[in-house]
Each structure stands twice: as C-alpha cells, then as structure tokens.
Amino acid sequence: MNCDFVVFDLETTGLSSRFDQIIQIAAARLGHGGTVTNEVFATFVRPEATIPSFITGLTGISNRDVAGAPPVAEALAAFSDFVGDAVLIAHNGHRFDAKFLTAACEQKRLNSRPVALIDSIHFSKRLFGTTRGTSHGLDAVLTRTQVTTFQGRRHDARGDVSALAQAVERMWRQLNLDATCSGIPRAGTHLPKLSR
C-alpha cells in the first residue's frame, strides 16, 4: 500500500465546483509516518472570470495576484507531477477540494487519473469524538492540536497547508497510526496524468 502522502488545499472563486474556479493550490509532502517535510508546492491559478471582492477579502488573493498565473490545466499538471503516486489529504476534502479537482479535469477535458484522498476530518473525529456540538472545522482542529504558528495566513492555501500539515502530523502521532494510515477511510478525486 502507498505510504506517501501530500496535504493540500485549494482557494476558489466560490463554493460551487460546477460554476466557480480554482485560484490557488498549495501542498506539503508528509514523510514516513506523517511527519512534515520541507517539500512544498504552491501556485496561483488564473481563472477565466474575475475574483469576487468577498473572496479577495477572505483569502487576500486579488485579480492582480492571478493575472500572470498559469491557467488551471497547466497548474493542475504541475500539481499532479508534485503529487506523483501519493495519497492526498485535505480538510473537508471529500466535500470540497476533491470535487473541484475532478470538475476542473472534466471541464478542461484533461487526460486524468484517479487519486486516493483522505479527508483529515476523519482524523479529528477519531481523536476528538463526534459528540453533538464538537466542531471539526479547521480552526477548531488547530486549537485542539495546539498549532499556533505556521507560514502564511489563514484562508490562503499556503497558510492553511502549513497549519494543516502540522495538525495532521500531531493527530497521526496521537492516534498511533501506522505508516500507511490504515483504518482511515479513503475517497478519491482526479488529477491530470503524470507527464513523466
């Protein structure tokens, strides 16, 4: 079973994978047993529409930031090459990030491949329980795992990945998971086929 993992996050122009577009991708590779490495990936993505002002207010990403960025097909190809054969990990990834990746591949008619994905909410639910009122949002997880310093700002994919990678590492250790993260459910998404 694959033992390589990549934590990633997307920023988008909105919540709909059908109508909105990816504007930023960031990722960090986890080493053996979920330890954070210094291998990172980050790119802005040039959308085909302007970024709404409320998204700029939330993420700090402006139309100027993405003006010279690669289009989504090029950005996803580079991201796919970074991921390689790894299993992806994203927070709320099953409901959000996975859908955007698959939709972008379909909309751009990219020659794609299936990629396994773990939603890090499963780590949180296993560690902190599912009692009514227990939040598993990223801010709550960061508080519980005592992640207080990270590179970048919240709601910028680079900052969120830096924070989430640390949280995943700490939850992995506290849950005493093996190097393959067995027992944690996996879903799937799509990325462009590898160029190598």
Number of domains in the chain: 1
Supply the angle between the helices 157-175 and 121-128 in degrees, to the nearest 10: 40
Burial of 105 (0-12, 13-18, 19+ CB in 10 A): buried
Going by the DSSP 8-state scheme, the letter that residue 70 receives in this structure is: P
pTM, to two decimals: 0.95
Residue in 186, 143, 136, 182 with CA at minimum distance from that of residue 166? 143
Place of tokens 């097909």: 73
Classify 22 as helix, strand or coil.
strand
CA distance 113 to 91: 21
Tens of pLDDT along 94-147?
999 999 999 999 999 999 999 999 999 999 999 999 888 889 999 999 999 999
pLDDT category of residue 1 using cuts at 50, 70 and 90 = very low
| pLDDT given for residue 120 in this prediction | 97
Task: Give the pair of three-digit tokens for residue 109.
Answer: 């008619």
Instruction: Give the CATH number for residue 141.
Output: 3.30.420.10
Rounded mean pLDDT of the chain? 94
Residue type, 32: H
Strand boundaries in the chain, DSSP class E: 5-12, 22-30, 36-44, 87-90, 112-119, 187-192
The strand order across the sheet containing 87-90 reads 36-44, 22-30, 5-12, 87-90, 112-119, 187-192
Residue type, 48: E
Average pLDDT (54-81) is 97
| pLDDT given for residue 35 in this prediction | 85
Q: Which of 58-62, 81-85, 161-165, 179-183 has the least mean pLDDT? A: 179-183
Tens of pLDDT along 135-172?
999 999 999 999 988 888 888 999 999 999 999 999 99
Instruction: Please give the helix or strand (H or E) that residue 174 lies within, else none.
Output: helix 157-175
Average pLDDT (10-36) is 93
| pLDDT given for residue 3 in this prediction | 67
- Residue 103's domain comprises 5-192
